[in-house]
Amino acid sequence: MCASDEMIESMVASLSEEASDTDRRLFKHALRQLVKVAREEQLEAIQEDFDVVYNVLRFR
């Protein structure tokens, strides 16, 4: 289990006891989607940074 999975499980566990199983599943799914989007954005930012550095070094 990776850190984001542990964080998601912790957040789901912190829901009110009144939350239904369906609510918990929906919350967990939404959190996983948010983590996925964040990872994709981080990868894009890393790629853009790499491209900038590569181009600077290439044209020295």
Tell me the pLDDT band of 19, cut-offs 50, 70 and 90: very high
Would the pLDDT of 28 be above 70? yes
Query: What pLDDT score does 53 carry?
Result: 94
Mean pLDDT along residues 39-55: 95
Query: What pLDDT score does 1 carry?
Result: 67
How many structural domains is the chain composed of? 1
Quote the domain boundaries for residue 14: 3-59
- Rounded Cα–Cα distance for residues 59 and 57 (Å): 6
Which residues have a Cβ under 8 Å from the Cβ of 12 and sit 6 or more positions away?
Answer: 24, 27, 28, 31
Q: Residue 13 CA to chain centroid, in angstroms?
A: 18
